[in-house]
Structure 1
Amino acid sequence: MNGLDVMMVVLYFAALIFVGVLGARKAKTSEDYIVAGRNLGLTMYLACLAAVILGGASTIGTAKLGYQFGLSGIWMVFMLGLGISAIGVFLIRKMMALKVLTISEVLEKRFNSETRLISSLVAAIYTLMVTVTQVISMGTILNVLLGWNLTLSMITGGGIVLFYTLLGGMWAITMTDIIQFVIMTVGIFFIMLPMSLHKAGGWSTLLERLPPGYFDAGSIGMSTIFQYFLLFCLGMAVGQDIWQRVFTARTTKIARAGTIGAGVYSCFYAVAVCLIGMCAYVVLPHLKDPQTAFSSMALATLPPGILGVVIASVISALMSTASGTMLASSTLIVNDILKRYMSPQMNEQHFLKISRLTTFAVGITTIVISIWIQDVLTALDVAYAVLSGAIFFPIILGFFWKRATAQAAFYSILLSTAVILAGLAIKGVSSTEPIVYGLLVSIIVMITVSLAGTSKKEPAALKKSEPYY
């Protein structure tokens, strides 16, 4: 990158810091800090939700998969879009009626406080690990393009996200996400994709020079596609970072339309970034590390000035997700653990102060773990494996099955988490089997323990009992 491109990126960073300071002025209450006062309109809501969904793994990871497997690389992000659209169709009405801050509060309302505690721990680990993927991706981008040390790059990117999230919470995130959504849309769809196709010689050249399997949507393997469904489609339905964004919508109608819209946008994004990775295979067929496919293609394709805009667009995608998941993790810790079990009488001012301190601690922990792992897809697999396998069935059955009990939910989360972590340790983080085992354990425990707990009750008692929703 030349001086003009570096200046574009630096100006972008400065703008985010400035917006973070402005956001701090709007974050006067805990609801302002955590869910932006529940007051977002359709345009802002859709942009913010799309921005949090599409982060480092969606951009860097999909370009890598496109480089390695061709069109079949769309499935990871396509499953994200499918999952978020399913929320809009099936769950939004129930979610918006709850008036809570976290997914764990929902489990306490439906079951008991023990279920809230264990689910908040699992969800906090998930959101922290998703933040790790974004910091790793930011580090990869800055390392390749600026030539900085990878560790320094992660500290810089993660530090900026931590700064504006710490100051303004969800209001700062919302204000920066509007900027980031516009930049990433322009950068990917209107600059990077058409110029990558031009550099590769057009669609006809792709057809000639790419291996035949690169145009087979199933070439990545059905087992991998099924793994992505388990990880990302199911994971979207029970992610605290997603629920927290849903709670920022002003009305149920806005939440439904914006959520479905964000899902559709994600599917188009998957195709665009995958095609960029395929173009990189033609232009740069001997890359040592496919994870650098996107950034290397940008360097090889874009003129000065334009390169800076595209890199800012990629960093936008990473930072928007990182800020949302960082805040989600701290919200779970403060709202569902510290306030619920250690300081139930915590006042508004104290809650806001503790939230900022916890956000700082989560941010520092995230950066440290990022430097240790340094692989974006590995971190993402761990995050979604635990979330999808352990939380999905307690949430869904809690919504739709009246006989589900608190004891069943608690043991379902506990045992399935243990099975998943043990399976990942034995089989490896890229294995599908631990997730399947976790889901099987989860639903078996939910059903058997629930039936055992309710079988002694009179049917009339069940009819009189109204579910919380």
Structure 2
Amino acid sequence: METSDTIVLLLYFAVLIVVGIIGSRKSKSSEDYVLAGRRLGVFMNLGCLSAVIIGGASTLGTTSLGYQYGISGIWLVVMIGLGIMALGIFVVKKISGYKVLTISELLGKRYNNQTRLISAVVTAIYTLLITVTQIIGMGAIINVLLDWNLTFSMLLGGGIVLFYTILGGMWSVTVTDIIQFVVMTIGLFFIMLPMSLAKAGGFDHLLAELPDSYFSFTNIGVDQIFQYFLLYFFGLIVSQDIWQRVFTAKNTKTARISTASAGLYSIAYALAAAVIGMCALLVLPDLTNTQNTFASMAIAILPSGMLGIILASVCSALMSTASGGLIASATLISNDIIKEYFFPNIKDKQFITLSRITTLGLGLISIIFALWIQDILVALDVAYAILSGAIFVPLLAGLFWKKATAKGSFYSIIVSTIVILVGFAIDGLSATSPIIYGIVASVITMVSMSLLDKKTSVPVIKKGV
């Protein structure tokens, strides 16, 4: 990269820092800090949702999968898109109107405080791992394109996200999300995709030169597609960072339109990223590390100056998801654990301070974990496996099954989490079976404990309570 590209990236980082400072002035209440005042319209809510679900794995991972498997590399992000659409169709109306900040708070009202606590812990681990994956991605992309030290690159990207998230909370995250949504859309759809196709000789040349398997939607393997379904479709429906964005919408109609639109955007994004990966196979047939497909392709086809815009667009996708995971994790810890058990009478401004301190601590932990793990897809799979296996069943049972009890919910989360972790220890972190075992264990525990429990008449929570 040329000096001009580095300047473009640094200017972009400076804009995000300024936005963080401005956002801090808008966060005058805890609802402002955590949910941006619950008053976002369709465009703002769509931008936030799209920015948070399209992260490092979506961009770098799908391009890498496109390089390896062709058009079937879309399934990771397609399942994310279908998951958020299902959230909008089946769940948003159910949860709209509840005066809660987190999934765990809703589960606490439906069941009891023990369920709220254990679900907060599990979900906070997931959201923290989401932040870790994005910091890994930022480090990798900056390292490849700027040739900066990998550790320094992670510290820089993670540090900027931590800075603006601490200062302005969801207001800063919302404004930076909109900027990042616009930048990553321009970068992928209007720069990388057309220039990749041009460099590869056009789509007709792809059809002629690539194996027929690269145009099969099942080339990646039905088992892999099923794993993505278990991880991302279920995971998106019960994801705190997504719910927190949904709660920022000004009404139910806005939230449903935004979730549906974000799902369609995700599917289009997946197709574009996979095609870029397929083009890269013709342009760069000898890549040894396919995780660097996107960055290597950008270096190969883009002129000076434009490369800096693409780097900013990738960092946009990574940073928006990182900040979403970070503030979600901090909200769970501060609202559902610290406030609930240690400072139940905390004042509003004190809660903002508590949230900032919690965000700082979790941000530092996520940077340390990113430096340790350094594999974006492995970290993402573990995060979604824990969430899908442990939280999905008790949440859906709580919303749709009146006989679900607190005891059934509490033990289903504990049993399924243990089953998933043991499954990963035995079968490996890339295995599908632990997720299946976890969901099955969760269903069996939830149903059996609820039916055996004498307290079967758990009242359905009232909206606004």
Using the size of structure 1 for normalisation, the TM-score is: 0.97
Q: CA deviation at 1:208?
A: 2.1
1:233 counterpart residue number: 233
Contact 2:110–2:459 (Cα < 8 Å) also in 1: no
Deviations for 1:334-384, whole angstroms, at most 9, x for unmatched residues?
000000011111111211111001100111101100010101000000100
User: In structure 1, what residue type is equivalent to 2:11?
Assistant: L
Q: CA deviation at 1:186?
A: 0.6
> In the alignment, is residue 149 of structure 1 matched against residue 152 of structure 2?
no
1:297 counterpart residue number: 297
Q: CA deviation at 1:324?
A: 0.7
1:135 counterpart residue number: 135
User: In structure 2, what residue type is equivalent to 1:256?
Assistant: R
What aligned pairs does 1:311-390 form with structure 2 within 5 A after superposition? 311-390=311-390
Which of 342-351 and 429-438 deviates more? 342-351
CA distance in 1, matches of 2:223, 2:95: 32
Contact 2:104–2:116 (Cα < 8 Å) also in 1: yes
2:124 counterpart residue number: 124
User: In structure 2, what residue type is equivalent to 1:208?
Assistant: A
Q: CA deviation at 1:211?
A: 2.0
1:402 counterpart residue number: 402
1:208 counterpart residue number: 208
User: In structure 2, what residue type is equivalent to 1:210?
Assistant: L
CA distance in 1, matches of 2:188, 2:461: 45
Q: CA deviation at 1:465?
A: 4.9
User: In structure 1, what residue type is equivalent to 2:357?
Assistant: L
- Shift in CA distance, 432/96, structure 1 to aligned 2, threshold 3 Å: same
Q: CA deviation at 1:139?
A: 0.4
CA distance in 2, matches of 1:367, 1:44: 28
1:29 counterpart residue number: 29
Contact 2:122–2:386 (Cα < 8 Å) also in 1: yes
User: In structure 2, what residue type is equivalent to 1:125?
Assistant: I
CA distance in 2, matches of 1:99, 1:84: 21
Percent same amino acid among aligned pairs? 59
1:168 counterpart residue number: 168
Q: CA deviation at 1:468?
A: 3.8
Give the secondary structure class of the aligned counterpart of 1:339. Answer: helix
> In the alignment, is residue 54 of structure 1 matched against residue 54 of structure 2?
yes
Deviations for 1:259-306, whole angstroms, at most 9, x for unmatched residues?
111111001000001111111111101111000000000000111111
User: In structure 2, what residue type is equivalent to 1:396?
Assistant: L
Unaligned runs of 5+ in 2: none
User: In structure 2, what residue type is equivalent to 1:230?
Assistant: L
- Shift in CA distance, 453/11, structure 1 to aligned 2, threshold 3 Å: same
- Shift in CA distance, 466/182, structure 1 to aligned 2, threshold 3 Å: closer
What aligned pairs does 1:146-295 form with structure 2 within 5 A after superposition? 146-295=146-295
Which of 420-429 and 74-83 deviates more? 420-429
Deviations for 1:419-440, whole angstroms, at most 9, x for unmatched residues?
0011111111110000000000
CA distance in 2, matches of 1:178, 1:388: 28
Give the secondary structure class of the aligned counterpart of 1:226. Answer: helix
User: In structure 1, what residue type is equivalent to 2:104?
Assistant: S
CA distance in 2, matches of 1:7, 1:205: 36
Contact 2:143–2:153 (Cα < 8 Å) also in 1: yes
Deviations for 1:109-141, whole angstroms, at most 9, x for unmatched residues?
110000000000000000000111100000010
- Shift in CA distance, 11/466, structure 1 to aligned 2, threshold 3 Å: closer
Q: CA deviation at 1:467?
A: 5.0
Using the size of structure 2 for normalisation, the TM-score is: 0.98
Unaligned runs of 5+ in 1: none
What aligned pairs does 1:450-461 form with structure 2 within 5 A after superposition? 450-454=450-454
Aligned residues: 463
User: In structure 2, what residue type is equivalent to 1:7?
Assistant: I
What aligned pairs does 1:406-445 form with structure 2 within 5 A after superposition? 406-445=406-445
CA distance in 2, matches of 1:353, 1:346: 11
Contact 1:110–1:468 (Cα < 8 Å) also in 2: no
Give the secondary structure class of the aligned counterpart of 1:159. Answer: helix
CA distance in 2, matches of 1:168, 1:343: 22
Give the secondary structure class of the aligned counterpart of 1:90. Answer: helix
CA distance in 1, matches of 2:207, 2:460: 59
> In the alignment, is residue 45 of structure 1 matched against residue 45 of structure 2?
yes
Q: CA deviation at 1:307?
A: 1.1
Give the secondary structure class of the aligned counterpart of 2:453. Answer: helix
CA distance in 2, matches of 1:467, 1:241: 22
User: In structure 2, what residue type is equivalent to 1:3?
Assistant: T
Which of 202-211 and 78-87 deviates more? 202-211
User: In structure 2, what residue type is equivalent to 1:235?
Assistant: G
Contact 1:402–1:467 (Cα < 8 Å) also in 2: no
Give the secondary structure class of the aligned counterpart of 1:287. Answer: coil
> In the alignment, is residue 16 of structure 1 matched against residue 16 of structure 2?
yes
Which of 205-214 and 161-170 deviates more? 205-214
CA distance in 2, matches of 1:465, 1:437: 30
